[in-house]
Structure 1
Amino acid sequence: MTSVTDRLTSKLPRIGDRGDRKDVVAVVKLHGVITPTPSPLSRGTINVASVESALTRAFGHDRLKAVALLINSPGGAPTQSGLVAERIRQLAAKKPGVPVLAFCEDVTASGGYWLACAADEIYAHRTSVVGSIGVISGGFGFTGLLERFGVERRLHTAGENKSRLDPFSPEKPEDVEWLKKMHTQLHELFVDWVKERRGGRLADTEELFTGDVWLGAKALELGLVDGLGNLREVIAERFPEAEITVAEPKKPLLARLGIGAPAAASALIDAVSQKAAWARFGL
């Protein structure tokens, strides 16, 4: 007759028995504007510091079948785009045989597409906006504004170009020419990255690098993506036995304390700037 102890111990996993543990596809959400200075409250921005914990968790699973990047970003800072993409490739190099798949949501444009190119394969929804392989910067000119209100501005520099593109001074042709050269250099780096990662999958047309954007089907035709579909259907087809798990980043300190958003002017400016970045794509 089997004792109670025997019946209980028989239900315990044996040493070395992995039980019914499933393979894992780890998902990292890369949502928001790419910026080095996110709000201490908001998680709707992307930079290498804010995504580090999520990326290391995603690549740290011991039964990892794939890492999926769920991208929804209109772009932003080129350096942070490069740093995040490089970090993804560094972690991927430690997991040979584990593919990295990128999934475009509403917008994967500019720096957002730079991030997508860190993946081995890119998928888009048929309504996704993809591309914008170009460089943009903007600002405002306030020439005459201070004088109108009787405010005297005092600007002192050492170095003839220290005040280049000062918004309260008249725009100089030589400053604009300098900025254009910077844009050209950054654009070349962006193009080189896309060609390095996409290789022969790209269509042979310079249309790709004009800064234009396309919906999913056209992006597929141009070789910017490898297929149409959403994360769950692609993962279900590629890895039917795997469990999907989301690797969440650590919450900012103030968010963990439950403190609401501040009414500071800087927060308002950040919100307007981010809204403008999304608005370029109708969102």
Structure 2
Amino acid sequence: MSEWVVEIGTFLVQAVIVMALVGFILLLIMRSKESDNSSLKLHVESLNDQRRSRERRLRVHSTQHGARKRLIKAFRKEDKARHKAVKGDKPTQQQSSTKVWVLDFHGDLKASQTEHFAQEISAVIQVASAEDEVIVRLESAGGVVHGYGLAAAQLDRLRDAGLTTTVCIDKVAASGGYMMACTAHHVKAAPFAVIGSIGVVAQVPNIHRLLKRHDIDVELLTAGKYKRTLTVLGENTQEGREKFIEDLENTHQLFKDYVSQHRPAMDIDTLATGEIWYGSEALDQQLVDSVGTSEAYLVERMAEADVYQVRLEPPKTISRKIGLAVSAGIEQAALKALGLIDAAGWQRR
């Protein structure tokens, strides 16, 4: 029985690989046909209205059938009064002069969302007042220095504009992710969110000895003593290694200085070791200011302010819908295949 499951699992893995290749090719074709950033649409959604709608649905479904009509009628009356007040520019109990703008950043190795993120920030800066707050729901394990340096600089624009910023971390904000998070006036992390990793890492494979064994020479020509320090194909020197490490240390110092500038209360020399802490531990180390989830904080803010989610999205073209469907299908197939393989291993034990 276990051998049969393993064979099925192996077949599924092979099928997933083929689907992934086909899906990747389709995505490349569809992306090449998509228009540029000028076609992006700005979506603004009232989270207060969304929460009110869900609350009403739950109340209606949990009410006895005989009382549901009266409850729905009361809701309609409430909406009519609220719309009338909005039309007359008279705030009601559900309205507030303070607004909260919610942005999302899900980072990859290249921080490729930065361009859209920058445009979202520009839109908010244009309309936000000094009393408003910007909440950024951040999730990133870091990546390339220049990519996350630019992403963090976008958040600095909010500070420069005089807007109060809060970064909420539910899962991870490490390395470049923490570089972004530290720019906020207030950093909130879930109890087990991964925080920190204030360090720099670089890894360069070298196959020079393999090439030499097969009598293959590689000529690396440069103008400038340190144009190349470590290479993949050529022979690395001790001088090149020392220069490479020197560059890493310099980048690390810049990282430390940036964090210290935004969070001067931190003991940066103790914390900038590349280590990570979970949310509750990070609070003790002053890496964050409070512990809690983004959802809980948004609910808290909705009780006293109008909260809007802002995001830029490409138009929902047929090619994009197909691409998303292919991507979701590949992901589901991969999860099922991994589950079968894991189950087969469990059966053999």
Same fold (TM over 0.5): yes
Q: Give the match's secondary structure for 2:151.
A: helix
Q: Give the match's secondary structure for 1:33.
A: coil
1:78 equivalent to 2:145? Answer yes
Counterpart CA distance in 1 for 2:88 and 2:215 is 81
1:114 equivalent to 2:179? Answer yes
Map 1:138-177 to 2 at 5 A. 138-146=203-211, 153-177=218-242
- The one-letter code matched in structure 1 to 2:241 is V
CA drift of 1:149 comes to 6.8
CA drift of 1:251 comes to 3.7
Q: Which residue of 1 aligns with 2:259?
A: 194
CA drift of 1:132 comes to 0.5
Q: TM-score, normalised by structure 1?
A: 0.72
Q: Which has the higher helix share?
A: 2
- The one-letter code matched in structure 1 to 2:206 is G
Q: Give the match's secondary structure for 1:182.
A: helix
Counterpart CA distance in 2 for 1:143 and 1:196 is 42
Counterpart CA distance in 2 for 1:11 and 1:225 is 43
1:228 equivalent to 2:279? Answer no
Counterpart CA distance in 2 for 1:159 and 1:14 is 68
1:66 equivalent to 2:141? Answer no
Counterpart CA distance in 2 for 1:150 and 1:258 is 51
- The one-letter code matched in structure 2 to 1:156 is L
Q: Give the match's secondary structure for 1:199.
A: coil
CA drift of 1:11 comes to 5.4
Q: Which residue of 1 aligns with 2:120?
A: 54
Q: Which residue of 2 aligns with 1:87?
A: 154
Unmatched 5+ stretches in structure 2? 1-82, 325-349
CA drift of 1:167 comes to 0.4
Counterpart CA distance in 1 for 2:321 and 2:212 is 44
1:180 equivalent to 2:245? Answer yes
Conserved? CA contact 1:84–1:115, under 8 Å: yes
Closer, same or farther in 2 for the Cα pair 1:114/1:256, shift >3 Å? Answer: farther
- The one-letter code matched in structure 2 to 1:26 is W
Alignment partner for residue 104 of structure 2, among 7, 26, 29?
A: 29
User: Size of the alignment, in residue pairs?
Assistant: 239
Conserved? CA contact 1:47–1:81, under 8 Å: no
Q: Give the match's secondary structure for 1:81.
A: helix
Conserved? CA contact 2:204–2:230, under 8 Å: no
Question: Once the two structures are aligned, what percentage of the paired residues are identical?
Answer: 27
Q: Give the match's secondary structure for 2:206.
A: coil
Counterpart CA distance in 2 for 1:208 and 1:157 is 38
Closer, same or farther in 2 for the Cα pair 1:13/1:177, shift >3 Å? Answer: closer
Q: Which residue of 2 aligns with 1:210?
A: 273
Counterpart CA distance in 2 for 1:122 and 1:153 is 50
Alignment partner for residue 308 of structure 2, among 221, 245, 263?
A: 245
Closer, same or farther in 2 for the Cα pair 1:12/1:226, shift >3 Å? Answer: closer
RMSD: 3.2
Closer, same or farther in 2 for the Cα pair 1:248/1:165, shift >3 Å? Answer: same
Conserved? CA contact 2:141–2:173, under 8 Å: yes
Counterpart CA distance in 1 for 2:217 and 2:85 is 79
- The one-letter code matched in structure 2 to 1:88 is L
Closer, same or farther in 2 for the Cα pair 1:252/1:145, shift >3 Å? Answer: farther
Counterpart CA distance in 2 for 1:197 and 1:28 is 20
Higher gyration radius (CA): 2
- The one-letter code matched in structure 1 to 2:119 is S
**214-223 vs 51-60, greater mean Cα deviation:** 51-60
- The one-letter code matched in structure 1 to 2:101 is A
1:133-167 superposed Cα distances (whole Å, 9 cap, x missing partner): 11111121122444567765444333343343110
**247-256 vs 221-230, greater mean Cα deviation:** 247-256
Counterpart CA distance in 2 for 1:255 and 1:85 is 34
CA drift of 1:216 comes to 0.8
